A and B are shown apart, each in its own frame.
Chain A
Amino acid sequence: MTSPQIEIQLIAVVVAIACAIPGVFLVLRKMALISDAISHSILPGIVIGFFITHDLNSPLLIFLAALTGVITVILVEAIQKTGLVKEDTAIGLVFPVLFSIGVIMIAKNANDVHLDVDAVLLGELAFAPFDRLMMFGADVGPKSLWVMGVILMVIVLLLIMFYKELKVSTFDIGLSSALGFSPVILHYGLMSISSITVVGAFDAVGAILVVAFMIAPAATAYLLTSDLKKMLWLSICFGVISAISGYWLAHLLDASISGSMTTVLGIIFLGTYLFAPNKGYFSVLYRQRQQRIEVSLLAFLLHLNNHTEENERHVNHLNEHINWQKVQSKTVLELAQKNNMILINDDIVSLTEKGEDFTNLAIEYIITNKDDKIEHMKDDFFLFRG
């Protein structure tokens, strides 16, 4: 590995961590799309900053751009407060307008500025090591590494200092204001931090892919855990893994580094989305199927309990009476039999003692509609455990 390679990966890792931390809170607060809006609407701030400083990494530019980000949030909230349109419409209106202003400003001054919309939107990590920071005449490393490093340190510091406040205000706004933490200050604090992170990261990974680094690791982690601390650690891990493996994928394909890092993020998310225990697609599908069968079984037993006539309890009759498909009727019958709830004599189904107990409990639950009854029932009769 050459030294620029190490530096690129280092920058990518720092960006990934710096994005993952605010990203977790954005995802939990259902504000994920604000990060998208900010990442686009900082453009006019960047352009103005660039007119003044002619340096994409100067603190003034970052400050101005972050300010535009916060203005975006304020504008969105102001429009939303008028009640004329919904929040998502407000977001969808504000950021393209600000972005357009930025594009027009660049186009109008194209002759004086070496700033490209492509560069802002897409970024190029491969060039990052060439922009060195000189301190006291000595080369101390790439500029963007220093910028992102400082931002990351501030984020970590703020996270440690305000962890409790952030946690409370994320999950229970009412409680947090009752405890005296102003949700407004925390909200705008988080928004400012997100803006600064987006601005700091945009010239390394590009404005759109910053969004991927903010949302994807957090969303992946959210599918795996419901513990905030674990979620933070997991999303940092996912971010770092995809930053490093994304770099090598890009190396292999000779393609955009940020694009391949996002692709790795996407693959990780897709895998988790499909296979995550409890919350993944397949396990949800499985659970829903199980629940459907449980309900069917219950309906079936109640039906048996209601009818003493033999013709109502004939196996073939059940098909038409409860309007089930053949396969489903068979599964339910077998399940009930396996649980010793029914007896089948000459195709006539009757409840066993256990089945009757179960049905009575179920009726009691239906009448009282108290959750503790059904919990109790589940303990008594393990439907799927024989």
Chain B
Amino acid sequence: MTISEYFELLFTDYTLGTITLGTAVLGAICGMLGSFAVLRKQSLLGDAISHAALPGIAIAFLITGTKDTNILLLGALVSGLIGTFWIRGMTHKTHLKSDTALGLVLSLFFGFGMLLLTFIQKQPNANQAGLDKYLFGQAATLVKSDVVLMIIVTSICLFVLLLFWKEFKILLFDADYTKTLGFNTKFIDILITFFIVLAIVLGLQTVGVVLMSAMLLAPAAAARQWTNKLSVMIFLAAILGAFAGVFGTAISASQNNLSTGPVIVLVAAVFVTFSFVFSPSRGLLFRQIRFLKNRRDLELKKTLQFMYGIAKTHENISHPHAIRILNNFHGFTRKTLQKLEHNGWIKVSNQQWSLTNEGFIEAENLYNQLLEND
């Protein structure tokens, strides 16, 4: 199947439509909440919590004995939340740093989950097969009810986000100020963390434990490069996440033997790389161009200053001097000379330069910070 065939089939084929819608919605909610995770410096929470959800899934299965997605997700949510609050407790109450706390919760919960999973496998319950799909995620197992659940959660999340927009925003950028204004910071904090955990848990089935962190981070990290405004960033991240979901599904469907999760992550990674390089204000490319431009500007001014130093000693400032004497001066090129002439600061005629009046004044005020720079 080629990619164009995929898009033709998208609206007619039921399974493909469901999966695509599912990954798109997942990408959107992850982008939305991932923005908060990135800005709150909780980027790796996604990694830790997705691993920490495993014992919850196993315990939920052990208790109920059914493989109902909603119950398993509830278990994952509970154990993810326990993990989150333990991380918080560790960093607040002991001198262990957040990286150690995250790593501990990640590996210890996951290990316990593995113990439970292998324990379940030995049970005579034939139902247990397929529990490990949560480990690596399989978008192909998405059914309509899963997608409906995702859409419901996304809308609730969007609603809460709009309802507490002001509180979330202010807590994000100035927690101390929020406290002095009398907001219940603990409640807002728990609320946003709860939704981040919820998004992570929702994504487990589709992209799996390991890749969940990229799903959460990549759209947000890409969106961050294009704007300094929170609302725009969240909107952009949601769109990028959704696109990553759709493109990832399209590419993996068009090839054999390509699981959806890794492809979505790679598509998102391409978005991130593109944003890192080509973003107009923060991107590496434009930063380098700006850097070169500034350097040229500085060299131009250095040359002008040097000329000024020579011209100052003469009574007639426009007295011509040989270009030759500039030659051993660092930062001088033929181009700078042309640029200087273009600006009307010097005149060049038969291998000689002379400072104009404007050039003299410009050079005089070069280091005068009181003057408005144009």
Contacts and interface: CB of A to CB of B under 8 A. Distances in A.
A30 B97 CA distance: 7
A91 interface: yes
Interface stretch (A2-10, A180-188, A280-288): A280-288
A150 B292 CA distance: 51
- The majority secondary structure among interface residues of chain A is helix
B38 A256 contact: no
Contact of B100 (A32, A93, A99, A110): A32
Contacts of B259: 103-104, 107
Contacts of B116: 255, 259
A118 B374 CA distance: 63
Given A110-B257, A262-B107, A263-B112, A96 B90 contact: no
- The majority secondary structure among interface residues of chain B is helix
B93 A255 contact: no
A33 B38 contact: no
Contacts of B218: 93
B108 A262 contact: yes
B262 interface: yes
B43 interface: yes
Nearest to A206: B114
Contacts of B214: 92-93, 96-97, 100
Contacts of A118: 132, 135-136
A255 B108 contact: no
Chain A contact-residue range equals 35 or more
B225 A259 contact: no
Given A84-B276, A284-B93, A212 B111 contact: yes
Contacts of A86: 38, 41, 43
B47 A92 contact: yes
A285 B92 CA distance: 11
Given A100-B265, A219-B100, A88 B111 contact: no
Interface stretch (B117-125, B234-242, B365-373): B117-125
A212 B107 contact: yes
B110 A99 contact: no
Given A107-B258, A216-B108, A33 B114 contact: no
Interface string B210-237: 1101111110010011000000000000
B51 A208 contact: yes
B282 interface: yes
B89 interface: yes
A323 interface: no
Interface in A218-235: 218-219, 222-223
B103 A36 contact: yes
21 contacts: A30-B97, A32-B103, A33-B99, A84-B225, A92-B43, A93-B217, A101-B266, A104-B259, A110-B257, A209-B107, A212-B107, A212-B108, A215-B100, A215-B103, A216-B108, A223-B94, A254-B122, A255-B118, A259-B115, A269-B104, A273-B94
Given A32-B103, A86-B41, A93-B217, 13 more contacts: A32-B97, A33-B103, A89-B38, A92-B47, A96-B211, A107-B257, A107-B262, A208-B106, A219-B96, A219-B100, A255-B119, A262-B115, A266-B111
3 A-B pairs with the lowest CB-CB distances in the bound complex, closest first? A262-B111, A96-B214, A259-B114
Interface of B: 38, 41-44, 46-47, 51, 89-90, 93-97, 99-100, 102-104, 106-119, 122, 132, 135-136, 210-211, 213-218, 221, 224-225, 257-259, 261-263, 265-266, 269, 272, 276, 282, 284
